[in-house]
Structure 1
């Protein structure tokens, strides 16, 4: 009898697992990786290629998480890419021009990201202007600061220790990727195990219901934007470590991936739903697309078109599912 009652439960759990977005992304990631390995005649499986693949996956993962925490409350952060580049430039400038020790410069870059993110949140809360507009303005200001203050020059040879960290591996995996994985685990713990994380999801799911439950929506907005900026600062440090040189163009190409990873990963644009694993898996798949583009000399614009089309398709599919759900909800009259 016990075995009989247990079997349907296991089968039900298995069906539910197969139907999840994360399972679909795992399948796509495995299929894509195997296909690319075959297409490159095994070159993808060499130690150097795998090392480079995961090394340059670190920043897209963290950038996707930086966007995800703002999407959790139903808002956007358009400044996340340029903020990453600016924090990287500030960190390099502090090490080269000011002469600060590497740990101090690293902490300063992360703190700058958090402060800018907090500033975004304060503007959204006190002006009641849509976060899209606020972060668009912030993005434009930061772009001006990058060129106006630092010019088109390049900072390099800023910290042998930091660059060593960017190139070294542990058990075949680059340290920068392992650092990004640790960040992902911490973000997951924040949403799954902390009151503040649950409040962010409550505010994103239904601000009115959250307020009735005693959740401070303004506080959730401040925390989400500050955390987004902090993660952009972390991405800046990883950029410094893996690249060895930074200039005013760093971060310009990160805006689309920052949205693509969480949206493809199953994060709801309307807020209230996050998926750390889905975001990281989507970043992995996008990285596969980038490697394919480099291996076969595909025009970069075609890659952007494909990624953008996929993001649009996911958004439209989500909107369609929501409309169907509302129409079929019990008690609804036509």
Structure 2
């Protein structure tokens, strides 16, 4: 009887012992799988996840969204803002900000038009003149911040006002048109199915990404934005780097102005002025910190696509143009809050 009574207990103990490793293994496997999934999700940039969600939602909400023509149209629509955003993210990486970017678009465009139509210079020289004007505004911004010790917000606010006024003064606020056909073809033709202005945008992003990642002068920008005093003690040329970045941003804004002029076949004295919100939105949504020291071309490109897809989708859904900036504003707030939450987790 004793043996009979003990046998069930022994059998139950064996069964429990046999079951325990199995349960433990299952739980361990689930825990490992969960941690791997969390790791994968954590490695995917938040803006990219947001872009995918917006993309899927709009593909259901509008039958015209996923058409090849509309997707290429999005690339064309964001080309000018994208070129401006490259310069803006470089400035934010070093801890600055540029409010004059939209006014530089207008002034460089009107300067080119004035040199060509009023001064009657050859168009090629007028084109270079427009780029030089953008570089000069960037140089002034750089000198005011690097040597004048002005806050970037104040310095670029002043040049924004001055550039906007000069753009109106050159032609008394009148638009200028009548440009060579080859110039207009930049935004009206395609190469291997991709708009030329889209190719220009991708090339600028790729070159800048290579510079930031693989060149010492590009990597130095992160050090300057992260801690300027430490960067100075390390021997980095702080002032020269700041001036160079602002000049590059000015040239890129001028290129954006030429793209806008080519697309409209008209130089408008107020062109680009309303794009400042979109440029800042692209940079912030792309993950660049306004305190400096962080930012990437991949994140900025994803932020650019988010803004482009949102604006395009709202137009397809007949959302009022007056409400579209409201949506962009909410997206900016959500992006900043997400960035802060991510920064706290990393710290």
Distance 1:227 1:14, change over 3 A: farther
Residue from 48, 55, 65 that aligns with 1:26: 48
The CA deviation string for residues 175-195 of structure 1, in whole angstroms up to 9 with x for no partner, is: 101101001111112211222
Counterpart check, 1:83 vs 2:128: no
> 1:35 is matched with which residue?
57
Give the total of aligned pairs: 314
CA–CA separation in structure 2 for the residues paired with 1:308 and 1:74? 22
Give the match's secondary structure for 1:253.
helix
- C-alpha contact (below 8 Å) 1:21/1:265 kept by paired residues: no
> 2:271 is matched with which residue?
250
Tell me how far 1:50 sits from its aligned partner: 3.1
CA–CA separation in structure 2 for the residues paired with 1:256 and 1:282? 13
> 1:307 is matched with which residue?
328
Distance 1:159 1:12, change over 3 A: farther
- C-alpha contact (below 8 Å) 2:131/2:251 kept by paired residues: yes
> 2:247 is matched with which residue?
226
Give the greater-gyration-radius structure (CA): 2
Residue from 163, 168, 182 that aligns with 1:142: 163
Give the match's secondary structure for 1:127.
coil
Give the match's secondary structure for 2:65.
helix
For residues 286-301 of structure 1, the aligned pairs below 5 Å read 286-301=307-322
Moved more, 95-104 or 56-65: 95-104
Moved more, 143-152 or 175-184: 143-152
For residues 173-252 of structure 1, the aligned pairs below 5 Å read 173-252=194-273
Tell me how far 1:325 sits from its aligned partner: 6.0
> 2:116 is matched with which residue?
95
The CA deviation string for residues 57-99 of structure 1, in whole angstroms up to 9 with x for no partner, is: 2112111112101001111000011111211222222232233
Distance 1:301 1:82, change over 3 A: same
- C-alpha contact (below 8 Å) 2:59/2:66 kept by paired residues: yes
> 1:5 is matched with which residue?
none
CA–CA separation in structure 2 for the residues paired with 1:59 and 1:77? 16
TM-score, normalising length: structure 2: 0.83
CA–CA separation in structure 2 for the residues paired with 1:267 and 1:21? 16
Tell me how far 1:246 sits from its aligned partner: 2.4
CA–CA separation in structure 1 for the residues paired with 2:139 and 2:337? 31
Gaps of 5+ in 2: 1-33
> 1:331 is matched with which residue?
none
CA–CA separation in structure 1 for the residues paired with 2:38 and 2:191? 36
TM-score, normalising length: structure 1: 0.86
- C-alpha contact (below 8 Å) 1:90/1:109 kept by paired residues: yes
CA–CA separation in structure 2 for the residues paired with 1:137 and 1:148? 17
- C-alpha contact (below 8 Å) 2:85/2:282 kept by paired residues: yes
Distance 1:321 1:249, change over 3 A: same
Gaps of 5+ in 1: 1-10, 327-334
Counterpart check, 1:131 vs 2:152: yes
Root-mean-square deviation (Å): 2.3
Tell me how far 1:245 sits from its aligned partner: 1.5
The CA deviation string for residues 244-275 of structure 1, in whole angstroms up to 9 with x for no partner, is: 22211201211011111111101111111121
The CA deviation string for residues 282-304 of structure 1, in whole angstroms up to 9 with x for no partner, is: 11111111112222232223221
> 2:21 is matched with which residue?
none
